[in-house]
A and B are shown apart, each in its own frame.
Chain A
Amino acid sequence: MDIISQLQEQLNEMSMLAVNTFGTLQRDAPPDRLSTSYPDPLNPNPNPKPEEDAKPQVQGQPGAAPAQAPGAPPQAQAQPPALDLAEQPKAMSHALVLAAKKFDALVAALPLSSEEDQLKRIEGLQAENEVVGLELQKQLEAAELELKQVEVLFNEATDNCINLKKPD
């Protein structure tokens, strides 16, 4: 793809990354803690003793889980979202910075020259094209002339061959 289209694609890519970053962060953000007296949504069971009220609200699993270690499942559920919350912004901002660097690299690779230089080069090339075209035409005409001469000679030679060959 030509470099200007690549630059345009890179711009679109950057805008898509920015929009996805903000959208994902807003979508996956955990609820904000309004006051210290409310339970922390990220860590509902900080105490080792199980809280009877918190269990059915947090887990919603019938039967099996509350009978086993109650502290482990909520923490297991909280851990993967917490990891994502820390890793995702890093990964996405990394991607944004990489895209910006790629844009800069493409800009550096632009082969720019001024308009007058280009027009001069075009004029020079047109003149050269004319000269080369005339030369080509001359060569073509000479070659066609020689071809005609060779054909005439060939016809003469074959006629002579036919006339000189005695039928058996």
Chain B
Amino acid sequence: MAASAYPPPPQYYRLYKDYEQDPSSAPEPPPPPPIDAKYTTFNVQRKINELLPSLESHNVRQLYPDGPNIDFKKELRTLNRELQLHILELADILVERPSQYARRVEDISMIFSNLHHLLNSLRPHQARATLIHMLESQIQRRKQAIEDIKQRREEAQKLLGESLLILDGSQTN
């Protein structure tokens, strides 16, 4: 293990040496350093910004055209049609020339790899959509809280006004 099991706590106590005499002399504690390098979990080193490895790194030919903006729906549908065609071809080959199944099976597994790679590259988009959803629900909750607080304050003011009237009424009696 590279790091010790029980690291000491951060030494921010040194900043507050003269706090008793002068509360404003303690500077702001420095922010923690940004995590840049690799981290280790369960004895495996991983990077922070792990990108999806490309298909070439797995020795698989990329069938869909790559570019800055990929039309995911169209490519997924095209690959689905190709898959069905290849399954039919495999059935035909098994009937007529059964010894040549290997190439077809490889083609089918390549299509599946491409499909899975496309789906995996949709995950960052999903992460951003989740973030948007979380922000929206947080804004909604905060607005609701503001409305609640306003309503309670108004009720409290009304009650105070009523009690004042009652007290005045009983005073003048």
A interface list, Cβ under 8 A from B: 2, 4, 7-8, 11, 14-15, 18, 22, 26, 96-97, 100, 103-104, 107-108, 110-112, 114-115, 118-119, 121-122, 125-126, 128-129, 132-133, 135-136, 139-140, 142-143, 146, 150
In the assembled complex, the Cα of A114 lies from the Cα of B139 at a distance in Å of 23
- B135 / chain A contacts, CB cutoff of 8 Å: 122, 125-126, 129
The minimal Cβ–Cβ distance linking A47 to chain B, given in whole angstroms, is 31
- A139 / chain B contacts, CB cutoff of 8 Å: 146, 149-150, 153
Closest to A133 in B: B142
Q: Are B80 and A103 interface neighbours, CB within 8 A?
A: yes
Q: Are B119 and A142 interface neighbours, CB within 8 A?
A: no
B69 contact from A22, A111, A114, A142, Cβ within 8 A: A114
Q: Are A7 and B119 interface neighbours, CB within 8 A?
A: yes
Q: Which listed segment binds A: B23-31, B37-45, B126-134?
A: B126-134
Q: Are B139 and A8 interface neighbours, CB within 8 A?
A: no
A104 contact from B77, B108, B132, Cβ within 8 A: B77
Chain A at the B interface: SS class: helix
B interface list, Cβ under 8 A from A: 69, 72-73, 76-77, 80, 83-84, 87, 90-91, 94, 108, 112, 115-116, 119, 122-123, 125-126, 128-129, 131-132, 135-136, 138-139, 142-143, 145-146, 149-150, 152-153, 156, 160
- A107 / chain B contacts, CB cutoff of 8 Å: 73, 76-77, 80
Chain B at the A interface: SS class: helix
A-B contact pairs, 11 of them (CB 8 A): A4-B123, A8-B119, A26-B94, A96-B87, A104-B80, A107-B80, A110-B72, A136-B146, A140-B149, A142-B153, A146-B156
Closest 8 CB pairs of A and B: A125-B135, A118-B128, A132-B142, A139-B149, A107-B76, A136-B142, A136-B146, A18-B87
